[in-house]
Amino acid sequence: MKKVLSLIAAIVLSFTVANADEGMWLPYALNGQNLAEMQAMGCKLTAEQIFSFNQPSIKDAIVQFGGGCTGEIISPEGLLLTNHHCGLSYVQKHSSIEHDYLTDGFWAKSKSEELPNPGLSVLFLNKVEDVTEAVLKGITAETTEAEREELIAQNSKEITKDRKGERNVRIEIVPFYSGNQYILFEYDEYKDVRLVCCPPWGIGKFGADTDNWTWPRHKGDFNIFRVYTAPDGSPAEYSADNIPMKSKWYLPINLGGVKPGDYAMILGYPGSTDRYSTSYTVKNVIEEEGPAIIDCRTTKLENYRKHMDADQEVFIMYASKQASVSNYWKYYIGQVKQLKRNHVYERRQAQEEDFANWVNADPQRKAEYGDIFTGIKAKWDILDEIQKSFVYHREAGWNGGEAISFSRRFIRINQMFEDKADKADIKTAAEKLQPQVETFFKDYSMPLDQDVTAALLGLFYKNIPNNLMPTELLRIGQENNGDFSAYVAKAFEKSIFTDKTRLEKWIQKPKALDKDPLFALSMNIIESYQTLYDRYEEAQNLGNQGERLYMKGLMEMQSERNFYPDANFTMRLTYGTVEPYKAADAVNYNYYTTMDGVMAKYVPDNWEFDIPQDVRDLVADKDFGRYANEKGELVVNFITTNDITGGNSGSPVIDGEGNLIGLAFDGNWEAMSGDLSFEQKVQRTICMDARYLLWCIEKVGKCQNVIDELVIK
């Protein structure tokens, strides 16, 4: 094991980079090689200015936002910038027909107007520690994969308990390099985060589904929040007595704009990549997982739009839900297409052939690596069979219709009935769910959910083999010739989970839920899913060791390759430059877009391409102020060669002196295979220009209070 760790450490700390733009680097492991390249590109910062635990540094301005995005501190008093789509669900919760902040935007003109967001928190990183030896304690060559996972979980739990003690911190232990290394991350968690600014829909969501994951873009994808602390500066739950955070570090904003070749650095929390996976993974995504997700989400989105377009109140209820579903719907469409177009499967096969030749050339290597693909193939033989059903159980089954999904929160209470618990205890447990009932029905449309549920169950029945389908779903489908409309209508009429009054009446006098049609169906789907999950675990046990050894072997075979670890929602640094690109034959894209392009896409009363009247007036008057470029254009978006993925949404784009020049929010269509394979020639990060951000705040939102708080260069 020590040999493995030594190898990994050597590659992390001393490597030869083939493509400087590729790589999501661990910022605490920067070395002379990294810094030399960064400085050659235009970076004037030291490693300590970027990342340090001994003194304030840029890393102290970077946060995990809401458990799935990145944000950055941009003022001395805790102003936090992130993407519009990252904060959308919180804006939605504040919105109504009377106060339609989604459509009209929200602009706090003073701190007293800032809106609290229960459930929203941000994490600041304060410690990193390699705990590989402690996590893998007790594991030997004879340890089975199941035993290994159990020991890792047990050891990690003990380490977490020991490191945390009585302190109010978040501890996470994360695997790297396919489980060859484990690193502990410690965070301070701040739970009082208030909404300050949200642009109107026609800016923050401009282009919506049509433009998503594409370039050129014309989107003002930002929201601004503020982090509050207890009066002593410590993390705290929301309180009227809390004060704005005294920022340890914040990013000044550079008004100079960008040009081709300019240095661009991004720090953030990329979610997940799988760039060292085998050809079996790629094949499964192309043939099984991707198409299954696309089919389920297409069906859900079609029914969402039907109801959202007909009723503005439903639009407000479902704006965030629709955006969440559609984002990775289009992602998988693009990923499947570009995996094929960029021949990623064939490239993986060629790499595996090279690996086999390298292994067979040495008896010692052959003894260690010669048989690893036997287990890997056995793993994917199982997953290829069950993957589509696995996806359907989740996307069309227990997480498809909302009422079915919501019913799962009552499993514990139903179990109390089976265990013959005290009636008073059952009633107390039921009453504790009342806040969740309020939250659920606040943004719930029964007619929409009924249509979604019927359509998804019908799709499930149509596309999954009988032996891989929940038995209750199979029975209903056979009895109704695959048409679930009548069954779902009757179930919705009877179930307590589709009507707030019925559910609240049940809370006052709870009884067993086995006869509730949606609860019973949900339990049957979960039972069926568990059977599939058992096979999934069997597959993992067969193949995980082989994939872990394949990772180790690749790192030995390609000692000159830049083996940065796959993204796993830990802080990473990526560096590149502002550049145009050639997307296809005779298709050459410029590196920036302007407000002229926004107006060219304008379609009145269209939910994707409408523009507010006040914005159109400002454009007509060319009222761009100091935010126009030297040509008099208002630059909206630009692109860089940085390497990012989901989770980087909201990450700052930083110049060579540590100033904010943009806000990362997307990747481009031609490189949608990027989570599995970096595409050097065409991979781009799409960024909102900092000047457009400031223009929106000052001219559209008229928030001079926010402008005055920022440091603008």
Q: Which residues are catalytic?
A: 85, 221, 649
Cα distances from 470 to residues 245, 450, 525, in angstroms, run 51, 20, 5
Cα distances from 353 to residues 255, 356, 360, in angstroms, run 51, 5, 11
Contact 601, 218 (CB under 8 A): yes
Q: Which residues is 253 bridged to in the sheet?
A: 660, 712
Contact 71, 203 (CB under 8 A): no
What is the spatial distance between Cα 485 and Cα 411, in angstroms, rounded to a whole number? 26
* Nearest CA-CA partner of 190 in 160, 161, 226: 226
- Residue type for position 562: N
Q: Which residues is 664 bridged to in the sheet?
A: 687
Length of the chain: 713
Contact 202, 607 (CB under 8 A): no
What is the spatial distance between Cα 563 and Cα 16, in angstroms, rounded to a whole number? 10
3-class secondary-structure state, position 447: helix
Stretch (H or E) spanning 409: none
From the number of C-beta atoms within 10 Å of its C-beta (0-12, 13-18, 19+), residue 6 rates as exposed
Which tokens hold the place of 331? 């992602």
- In sequence order, what are the residues at sequence separation of 6 or more whose Cβ sits closer than 8 angstroms to the Cβ of residue 544? 145, 179, 379
Say what the alpha-carbon torsion angle 208, 212, 215, 216 is, to the nearest 10 degrees: 0
Tell me which residue has tokens 């410590």. 234
